[in-house]
Amino acid sequence: MTIIKEETLFAEIDHLDDKGNGQAVILRESDRGSNPRKLRLTIPQTLKGESVQVVVEHPDKRRVKVMPEEILAASPERTDAPCPHFELCGGCVWQHWTYEGQLKYKTKQVKNALIREGLNPELVQDTIGMDNPWHYRNKMEFTFSPEGDVGQHEQGNFRKIIPLETCLIAGRNMVEGMLEVSKWVKEFGLNGYNKDAHEGLLRHLMVRESFATGEMMLALFATESPDGELASAVDNLVERITKKFPNVKSLLWLVNTDWGDRTQSEDTHLLAGRDFIYDEMAGYRYRLWFDTFFQTNPSQAKKLVELALEMGKPKEDEKMIDLFCGVGTFSLPFAARVKELAGIEIVETSIESAKRNAIDNDLHNTTFLARDARRGLDEMHDHFGFADILLIDPPRSGAGGKVMRRIGRSKPKRIVYVSCNPDTFATDVTELLPFGYTLQTVQPVDLFPHTVHVESVALLVMGGTDR
């Protein structure tokens, strides 16, 4: 029989980590009578400056993650989380924090990133938030438990699924669609996928909705095809979804037998409608497939586009390159305002989508290339020429020094940097300074309320003046 040693401790939250969890340090006496040793605590759902009580198992360890037992002295920015799943679900981490507090913290995040790289934090504007920071997501990926429950992973526990009755960050119609699929799974006694045993039927449910057109997509990821013994159950799903949700224009069954826990498809079955939905942003229409990357907060993404246009100041006689262009979220609005635009993106399906989206929007001055950023820039410079404006929207890992130095050597007049990671943004910017660029302004935008993530749009100009 194992005896679990536990101890009640009192801690004060010193700061938050990069996942939004409170951090505290407790000094404890050393068994050897030397200097006190540190017990570092990670305490989710707490805020800086709060005093908390925790019960720690194995307090002799150096690092422990533990939920707060009691908030002894609460932050003035603490609020009641409205979601009934908040304490367990890993989808949101900051529902216990006032929205104003979240926005101030995100502004500080971006400023601190600049400070660490020796850049001027005064260039950072206050974060632009949402009037209503709820039900903002137009895409959600839910996971099935082995028992067939639909939900999200538990905070810090990839193996456990929290069944959901609601979701306060997803669009309301998306939640209704998720609940209907959940009901169907239970009625037919279908099971979910067991990640440890690598067996079971249902893996994920992806729901996409266009807030502009009202069209919705439901995509089920499973380990078997929707025929044979499953045919009658799948026919029932099609009937109930098409009857209850006429706005579902795409109902998909995607076979995925890979051990990796990703929403990918080896064989796609169209159950009803078409294999894509239409969405609109900033006056432009886009086709979205199940694997299309598109901003998941449309109202705030529109602000990103508006800011990029405002900073970039595109002119009719200018050439532009959109690096990491995706399906053309920024490409199309800029293409309507410049002489020529070239988009570069490593994902071939996104490039095909960008080409179709340009045609759908009657834009014929675009060139799109499926290449990695470095080779794509070199190839575009050879065939397209050098750009007056360059927009860069890299992944969280940033563009990297080699890409940024290539950009610097090509000397665009203006560079618009759209960032989803303040740290990699600041590092990338420093690579441009030796080439004569000046960082003019940084505008954070909150696309993911109640999470740690913050986007920003920044302008760099050659020579320190906006030409």
Positions marked active-site: 420
Write out the H or E segment, with its range, that includes residue 13. none
Q: Which two tokens stand for residue 110?
A: 């971006």
Distance of alpha carbon 416 from alpha carbon 432, whole angstroms: 12
Q: Residue 123: name the closest of 404, 314, 311, 388 by CA.
A: 311
What phi and psi values does residue 330 have, to the nearest 5 degrees?
-95, -25
Q: Cα 170 to chain center, whole Å?
A: 13
Distance of alpha carbon 302 from alpha carbon 282, whole angstroms: 6
Distance of alpha carbon 457 from alpha carbon 420, whole angstroms: 9
Write out the H or E segment, with its range, that includes residue 331. helix 331-335
> Which residues are registered as beta bridge partners of 288?
277
Q: Under a CB-based contact definition with an 8 Å cutoff, are residues 125 and 436 in contact?
A: no
- Measure the N-to-C terminal CA separation of the chain; round to a whole number of Å: 75
Q: Residue 14: name the closest of 44, 38, 47 by CA.
A: 47
Q: Residue 8: name the closest of 54, 41, 39 by CA.
A: 54
